[in-house]
Amino acid sequence: MNAHRTLPVVVGIDASRSSHEALRWAAGDAERRGAPLSIVHAVFTPLAYGPGLSFTKPDFDRLEAEGAELLSRAARNVSETSPELEVRTELVRAPRAPALIDKSKDAQMVVIGSRGLGAIGRGLVGSVGSSLARHAHRPVAVLHYRANDPWNLSRPRRAVVVGVDGSENSLPAIEVAFEEASMRSSKIIAVHSWADDGRFLHVGDWDAVANTEEALLAESLAGYAERYPDVPVEKIIVKNNPARHLRDFSDDAELLVVGSHGRGGFAGMTLGSTSQELLHSVTCPLIIARTTA
């Protein structure tokens, strides 16, 4: 057996609605991968508890009991819809973001809702999601809760959209995108932007630039297209502003996959501007493929 396949898909949950979406999505992805699902809930308070303090041991015990019940209910829900899926639960006594970053070391992917119970602002990703996108050791999937247009996980959608900038930093995103598309019997829409900086818009011979960029895109995809011959690929070249174009193409996509940083980035650096913007603006499931040192 491929040892990688035994690694779980990890989903971090709380009682928020976007967390519920994350659990559903993670269960489906684990099934497609033939991987276990590990459901994690973190309980932590930075304050010591004791007599005279605002947070007491009974308070912490209550949070632990609520967390245990949350995990139990989540596991039951998954087992009802995916009875063959191996499900594990874990109550972690640590801050959420560091706990999930640590779990990502031995995971195929980490999944989280876009906003936890403490997040504010419609469409904004909470601090845990942002921290994971910056520091996780494996790809991170972020799920948004869409109150007016709930994400129907069972409805076939057009494609897996992937951002390709021609650098080595986008290769993890391409690999994840092909893997997901193959598992979902979807096609790939590979979107490549000629430039991500307005300083380059003075170029006059766009035909020559287009030929160069089309060759760069084809070269970036070539090896993966050979490994996944079942996945149709549509190549799109656009001018500038990659975040806007990726957001447009992802409106009715199965999911959007991007790298953690783009041109000029280096392993271990924090989130790039395009990934950062998409993290806070797209409504479809978003996977950020980390490039680690």
CATH number of 3-143: 3.40.50.620
Tell me if residue 8 falls in helix, strand or coil.
Answer: coil
Domain ranges of the chain: 3-143, 159-289
CA angle, 39 then 43 then 45, to 5°: 160
Phi, psi angles (nearest 5°) of residue 286: -120, 130
Name the maximum alpha-carbon separation found in the chain: 74
Q: 159-289 maps to which CATH number?
A: 3.40.50.12370
Per-residue pLDDT of the chain (293 residues; tens, 9 = 90+): 455 668 999 999 998 888 999 999 999 999 999 999 999 999 976 555 555 556 677 888 888 999 999 999 999 999 999 999 999 999 999 889 999 999 999 999 999 998 654 443 333 345 777 788 888 999 999 997 655 455 555 554 579 999 998 888 889 999 999 999 999 999 999 999 876 454 445 555 667 777 888 899 999 999 898 899 999 999 998 887 888 889 898 888 889 999 885 444 333 333 467 777 888 888 889 999 975 54
Residue 260's pLDDT is 80
> pTM of this prediction?
0.83
- Selection from 100, 31, 93, 28 nearest residue 60 by Cα: 93
Q: Check for a shared fold between 3-143 and 159-289.
A: yes
Residue 38's alpha-carbon distances to 109, 193, 222, in angstroms, are 10, 37, 34
Please give the pLDDT value at position 128. Answer: 79
Q: Which amino acid is it at 115?
A: R
pLDDT at residue 25, as a whole number: 94
C-alpha distances (whole Å) from 202 to each of 214, 239, 260 are 19, 12, 28
Question: Which pLDDT does position 65 carry in this prediction?
Answer: 94
Q: Tokens 């006059």 label which residue?
A: 204
d(CA 56, CA 114): 30
pLDDT at position 123: 37
For residues 155 and 184, the answer to whether their CB atoms sit within 8 Å is no
pLDDT of residue 207: 74
